[in-house]
Amino acid sequence: MFGLFENKNPEVSISDQVWLSKQSKWDACVKMAFADSHCVFVAWFPHTKEELSVFFDQHKMKPILMLASDIKLSRPDGFLIFVEHYPLSEVEQELFKKLNLSNVPVLSSLDEPLFAMFGGEKSIQLMKTMGMKEDEIVSHPMITQSIRSAQKKIAKKVRVELMAESQKAWLDKNLKMV
């Protein structure tokens, strides 16, 4: 009624694609870059960007790699693919909205620190038991919702955010007093 209860600032839709291992995720990035030269791979942390850069170098590829903090300054031409989640969904959503994105692909793996906090190793074993192959991806709205829920739990524990070079270091710094 009169728009009183409308969400005036809806969240940007995220399309999560999750692999069992980081190696499989990096292999998929190589395939994506080979299939579409307009892909721009975006990392939240410098360590991730460097790790992916080394992987692409090993495959003699030079796709565009950027840090999310650099995109705040200028939006690159091309299709943005985020290669990890930021631990706080509010930070992700702020950037996605600023860039006027409507659906954002985010690539993850169950062996990343964010997933390790919430039983990633058990999930890996379960998926393998169910017959999932290393190069297969899991993508479903329930997974996106689970990740979002995990980010909310993390946000409740962070009083003052401390920046870091990697997802693991960020989690260690910001959740160490909990």
Q: Which of 91, 81, 88 is nearest to 56 (CA)?
A: 81
Handedness of CA 13, 168, 29, 133 (dihedral sign): negative
> Could you tell me the pLDDT band of residue 69, with boundaries at 50, 70 and 90?
very high
For the chain, the residue count is 178
Q: Which residue has the higher pLDDT, 119 or 51?
A: 51
Q: Which of 68, 26, 29, 27 is nearest to 46 (CA)?
A: 68
User: What pLDDT is attached to residue 1?
Assistant: 47
Q: Helical H runs in the chain?
A: 22-35, 46-58, 68-71, 89-98, 113-116, 120-129, 141-157, 167-175
Q: Of 5-14, 30-39, 54-63, which gets the smallest average pLDDT?
A: 5-14
CA dist 48 and 169 (Å) reads 12
Q: Where are the domains of the chain?
A: 13-175
Considering the domain 13-175 in this protein, what is its CATH number? Answer: 3.40.50.300
pLDDT at 6 over 60: no
pLDDT at 119 over 50: yes
Q: Which of 75, 132, 19, 85 is nearest to 29 (CA)?
A: 19
Q: What is the pTM of this model?
A: 0.91
